[in-house]
Amino acid sequence: MSAVDVVPSPTVTDRYRPEAIREFHERGWWRDGSAAALLDRWAEENPTKRFVSDGSVELDYATVREQAYGLAATLARNGVARGDRVVVQLPNWAEFIVSYLAITRLGAVLVPIMTVYREAEVAHVLRDSGAVAAITTGRFRNFDHAELFRTLRAELPQLRTLVIARGSAGADELAFDEACSAVPAADELGPHPDPDAPHAIVYTSGTESTAKGCVHTWNTIDFSGRGLATDVFEMTPDDVMFMPSPVAHATGLLVGVLVPLAVGAETHLIDIWEPNEGLKRIEQYRCTTTATATPFVRMALDAAPGSGRDLSSMRFWLCAGAPIPEALAREFEETFAGGALMPLYGCSEVLAATCCHLGDSIERRAGSDGSPALQGVRIKLVGADGDDVPTGEEGEICYWGPGAVLGYWRNPERTAATIDGEGWHHTGDLGRLDAEGYLRVTGRLKDIIIRGGTNISAAEVESHVIAHPDVAQVAVVGYPDDRLGEKACAVVVPRKGSTPTLAEITGFLRAERHIAPHKLPERLVLVDELPMTASGKIQKFKLRQTAIEER
C-alpha cells in the first residue's frame, strides 16, 4: 500500500446504513452495472449511432468502445490496476470521454482536472490522489499542459505513465491515438468493476484553502445521470446534448457525459465558449438539451438576435450557479421557440439536489431552485442548533439520498464533519423551503466566490496575495457582475510606503504563485485597515459593500 493509501477510501457501508442500501437496490436507484456495460449495450444495439462530436472529431458508439478498450489495455500494460487513480486534464474533446470509459473499464478511478488549473492546483490533486497515470494534451489556449505534467512528473515518482492527446509525446510518454489502437487480449481487461467501489474522485472548486476529493461510486453518480436523463430531461436516443461546460467539472461530467450515456444519446462538446460559435453548433447539430452556469445563457441570448440561427431544436436548458430572473426565463422562451429554462442546484458532493421540471410554471422556475430533483432525494434545512427550521425560515441545506458522495478522499475528519450520523450531507449552503417543498438558495456558510458557476476559495486567493512583498493584510470578497455572477475583489492593507496596483498583484500571482487565471482578483481596493470584530475576525460583509462601491 502506497503512502497516499494509508488512509482508506470511504466505503458504501461506511456511508449508508444497511436498510438504506437495501432500499436503494429494491427501488432500482442503485443497480448492478457500470459505465462500460452501458457502452457495450449501445455499441451492440446501435453501433453506428454517433456518441460524441466536438467540432473536430465525431465518434459512434462502436468506435468509442474500440478506442476506450484499446486505451484500457495500454494503461493496464503500463501498470494501471483496479483502484489506481488516473488524472485526466483535457478540454471538451472526444478524447475525454474515451479516457473516462477506458479508466473506469479497468476499475481504476477517474480524477478529472479542468484545463484552467495550473501548477498549484494540478500538483495538489496529483499528490493528494496519488495518481499513477495522467492523460493530458499539449498546448491549449496558450498553455503547455504536457510540459507542466513533465515538470511535476519529475517530482512525483508514483506518476509512472503520461499519455498525450493532440500533442507530441516524448520518448517515455504515450501518444493517445497509438495507445487507443491496442487490441485487448481475451479477458485482459478483467470483469466489470464493482458498482459500489470508487469510480471517480471529483475535486471541489475550492470552498477551503485546498480542494477536497469527493469520492463517488458508479451507483452514486449513475443515479444522478440516469435520473436526470429520464425524469428531468425526458431524453431519448434521438436527443443531442450540447455541452460547453467543462466535462472535467462535476456539472459537465454529469450532464455532458453520464446523462447521454444513460439513454444511448449523443453529446456535442465545445472546448472554448464563444456565444456565436455556440449558437452555430446548436443549429448545426440540432442540439436539444444542455446545462450551464447562468452567464452562458445571458451571453447566448445577447448573441441570438443577430445570429440568424435556427435554435428551435433546443427544448431544455438547465441553469446552475445563480437564480434565474423571470425576465431572463421569458426572453429565453421567446428566443429558443418555447424551450424551457430550468434551475438546477447541486455541487461536487451532491450532483443533482434540486431542480424544476417541465410541469413547473415559469414563475416557479424563476422564483426557486426547484424541488428534490429525483425520486429518493430528500432535502431539509437545519439551524445552528442542528434542528430542522420551520417552513420559510433560513437554514443550512442538507441532502439525503442515493446520489451523495461517500466522503472525502483521505480526509475522514472532514467526512465526519460533513455527513452526520443519520446519513445527511450538510452542504454549507443556506436556503429556504416553501410549503410545497421548493428550495431557494439564499447564501452560503462557506467563504467562496462563484464566478461563472465555478467556486473560488477566498482563503486560497488570500494565501497567495499575502505573499506579495507590498501586501501587509488582505481579504478577498466577491462583488456582483452582470455577466459572471460574481468576481473577486482583493481588499489590501499595503505595507508602509507601498501602493501596489491591480496589475502588479495579478502579475505576481501569475508569475510567482501559478494560480489559475479565473481566480485572479479583478478589482483592488487599498485601505488603511480591515474592519474587525471584537474577537479579531474580519467583517467581510462590510468589505463586500466596499467592493461594490469601488468603481
Q: Collect all residues with Cβ–Cβ distance below 8 Å to 81 and sequence separation of at least 6.
A: 106, 108
CATH 3.30.300.30 maps onto the chain at 448-549
Distance, CA of 360 to CA of 217 (rounded, Å): 31
Q: Look up residue 212 and give its DSSP letter.
A: -
Distance, CA of 415 to CA of 73 (rounded, Å): 34
Distance, CA of 146 to CA of 150 (rounded, Å): 6
In this predicted structure, what is the pLDDT of residue 209? 52
List b or e across 120-139, with b for residues whose CB sees 16 or more CB atoms inside 10 angstroms: bbbbbbbebbbbbbbbbbee
Contact yes or no for 525/494 (Cβ under 8 A): no
In this predicted structure, what is the pLDDT of residue 539? 83
Distance, CA of 304 to CA of 308 (rounded, Å): 7
Contact yes or no for 297/304 (Cβ under 8 A): no
Contact yes or no for 36/103 (Cβ under 8 A): no
- pTM: predicted TM-score of the whole model, two decimal places: 0.86
Strands (E), 19-69: 50-53, 58-60
Distance, CA of 453 to CA of 474 (rounded, Å): 24
SS3 386: coil
In this predicted structure, what is the pLDDT of residue 321? 76
Query: For the domain with range 448-549, which CATH number is right: 3.40.1440.60, 3.30.390.10, 3.30.300.30, 3.40.50.10210?
Result: 3.30.300.30
Cell numbers of 515, please?
494560480
Contact yes or no for 180/67 (Cβ under 8 A): yes
Q: Which regions of the chain are under pLDDT 50?
A: 1-3, 207-208, 535
In this predicted structure, what is the pLDDT of residue 102? 99
Query: For the domain with range 31-48+61-217, which CATH number is right: 3.30.420.340, 3.40.50.980, 3.30.479.30, 3.40.50.2300?
Result: 3.40.50.980
Q: Look up residue 58 and give its DSSP letter.
A: E
Distance, CA of 320 to CA of 297 (rounded, Å): 10
CATH 3.40.50.980 maps onto the chain at 31-48+61-217
